[in-house]
Amino acid sequence: MSADVCVVGGGPGGRALALALTRLGCDVVLLEKRDPARGAGPAFRGESVSPDGVRLLDLLGVGERVRQAAHRVDRLEIEDAGQRVLDVRFADFPYRYRHPVELAQHTLLTALAEQTGRQPGGCTVLEPATVTGLLVDGPAVTGVRANTPTGPVRVTAALTVGADGRYSAVRRLSGLAEHARHTPLQRDVVWLKLPFPADWDRRAYRVRIAGDSHGLFLPSTDGTLRVGLNIPKGGLRTLRSGGLGGLHTRLDRLAPQAGAAARTSLHSWSDTALLDIFTAEVPRWSAPGVVLIGDAAHTLSPVLGQGVNHALADAVELATLAAEALGRDRRAHSRALLAALQLFQRRREPHVRRSRALQLRQERMFTLTAPAATALRRTVYRALDASPALRRRVLAPAYFPGHTPLRQAARTPEVRLV
């Protein structure tokens, strides 16, 4: 098969890119290794979409569609040592897109795929299809080799995009993994879902901290409570060896309502999922004929739900630059394409860096244990709570990077990409 662009991976980044490129007149082949016949995929991942992600979904023309299935979030509340130290109300931010939403990843991916199917241009989706090798011509990547249930396929393309996630095969096969910095965070996260406590506000994100443990308690679109519970790095085996009781006790310490719900509804470790938390920084996102986006280019931690947002932002930025370059010269080693790929990284990397820095700062705050340090942590949160200007300064780079201030928004309607 041949196409202008071969997209490897059908997560939020890959699907959004296929949609945007197809709309901009490019021929696309997308390969996804997951078999759609095996259901919706991991139930825990990528449900929180930040306000900027909501803006990008509107830009991609799927905003209305996903809004019907999304759950709007109004508040972010942090409790430390049993005291509420921060209560952020998203309506107070002066931007057009202010609220994050919870959105099942399956709903998001289906909406992007269906919208792509409506475009007159061509997007061929091969799934399940697992990319196992790259095609090369001199220094340039010119496509991929993949395995499918009906046999091997080769896809040649002017541009191959690795949108294949945190363990990206394209990153490894292209040599772009060389010099990548992989930083494990101090703790891992166990994800689980519980019945939603009756007396909790369904429109709030809750972060609960007790000493050096913390948990995220998030409303889910299926009416349940999604819990991300921090455990020591590699500590799942120890936790499991103590039985589910150890998990209940950890939850009790942070939120007794969740501990009680876990006792009645969580019956086995198979109802949980472990996320190995690390960040990956790839110094070079592209080489002739190939580029990385989303988690493949920059794996982030789950703090503040940034992964989906950055994958969508990469897709929108890359589509515009690549379509323009391919319109001028459709060769993998063309100067126009090389320049477009480098510009793509220059434009996107500062945003990713700001989110990563905020996440790492936050993660360090969560792991403090000494009494003086935890007291200082509470003081910092209280200072944020007291000052809208400070809150905006800290949260805006991650939550509202492409924001349009309300006053300006009234004058300039948002432009739709598709």
Ligand X SMILES: Cc1cc2nc3c(=O)[nH]c(=O)nc-3n(C[C@H](O)[C@H](O)[C@H](O)COP(=O)(O)OP(=O)(O)OC[C@H]3O[C@@H](n4cnc5c(N)ncnc54)[C@H](O)[C@@H]3O)c2cc1C
Position 28, amino acid: V
Is the peptide bond preceding residue 128 cis, with omega within 30 degrees of 0?
Answer: yes
Tokens 């519970």 locate to: 229
Backbone angles phi, psi at 355, to 5 degrees: -65, -45
- The smaller minimum CB distance to ligand X, of residues 10 and 289, is found at 10
Q: Can you give the C-alpha Rg of the chain in angstroms?
A: 22
Query: Shortest distance, CB of residue 273 to ligand X, whole angstroms?
Result: 6
Query: Shortest distance, CB of residue 308 to ligand X, whole angstroms?
Result: 3
- The smaller minimum CB distance to ligand X, of residues 86 and 308, is found at 308
Query: Shortest distance, CB of residue 275 to ligand X, whole angstroms?
Result: 4
What is the chain's length?
418
What letter would DSSP give residue 127? S
List the alpha helices (DSSP H) in 242-334: 244-254, 256-265, 307-328
Q: Which residues bind ligand X (CB under 6 A)?
A: 8-14, 31-34, 44-48, 130-131, 163-165, 169, 191, 273, 275, 294-296, 302, 305-309, 311
Q: Are 293 and 13 within 8 A, CB to CB?
A: yes
Question: Two tokens at 65?
Answer: 């569609």
Query: Shortest distance, CB of residue 147 to ligand X, whole angstroms?
Result: 9
Backbone angles phi, psi at 370, to 5 degrees: -60, 140
- The smaller minimum CB distance to ligand X, of residues 4 and 47, is found at 47
Query: Shortest distance, CB of residue 373 to ligand X, whole angstroms?
Result: 28
d(CA 311, CA 307): 6
- The smaller minimum CB distance to ligand X, of residues 273 and 336, is found at 273
Query: Shortest distance, CB of residue 157 to ligand X, whole angstroms?
Result: 14
Backbone angles phi, psi at 400, to 5 degrees: -130, 45
Query: Shortest distance, CB of residue 305 to ligand X, whole angstroms?
Result: 3
Closest CA to 97 of 406, 408, 415, 411: 406
| Interstrand relation of 28-31 and 123-126 (parallel, antiparallel or unpaired) | parallel
For 7-37, the DSSP string reads EE--SHHHHHHHHHHHHTT--EEEE--S-GG
What letter would DSSP give residue 92? G
What letter would DSSP give residue 271? G
- The smaller minimum CB distance to ligand X, of residues 98 and 310, is found at 310
- The smaller minimum CB distance to ligand X, of residues 142 and 301, is found at 301
Closest CA to 77 of 90, 87, 91, 89: 87
**Burial of 65: CB neighbours in 10 Å, binned 0-12, 13-18, 19+:** middle
Neighbours of 365 (CB within 10 A): 18
Query: Shortest distance, CB of residue 53 to ligand X, whole angstroms?
Result: 7
Closest CA to 2 of 39, 36, 40, 29: 29
